[in-house]
Amino acid sequence: MKEKRYLILLDVDARKRHYHATERGVIVKFSVQLEVNTNEGWREVIRYDCAHDYADKDCYNINGQRRKINLYVGFEDALTLADEDINENWEIYLERVS
């Protein structure tokens, strides 16, 4: 299994954490999340993953409460969606938790 991990600093207090694993060129695991640096350290704001064997999006509020959304797409499409969504909308997501 091939794995890729990286962090992208989006702003002083915002970053994107990306992980995916492939087998024979097919995505078998992934997690992409937007994180914000708070007084308590780095906290997730949005996370796309497949931890429950389906692709979903978790949205967190300032209190850490989570809302889960089933994406109803395959892992490859969900990974693309996750990267594009966070790249394009990270500032909006950060405003919502501020």
Please give the tally of structural domains in the chain: 1
| Tokens 């300032």, located at residue | 62
Quote the CA–CA distance of 19 and 72 in Å, as a whole number.
Answer: 20
pLDDT of 49: 98
What type of residue sits at position 93? Answer: Y
Question: What is the structure's pLDDT at 63?
Answer: 81
Counting as low any pLDDT under 50, the low residues of the chain are: none
Residue-range definition of the domain harbouring residue 18: 2-97
Q: What is the pLDDT of residue 39?
A: 87
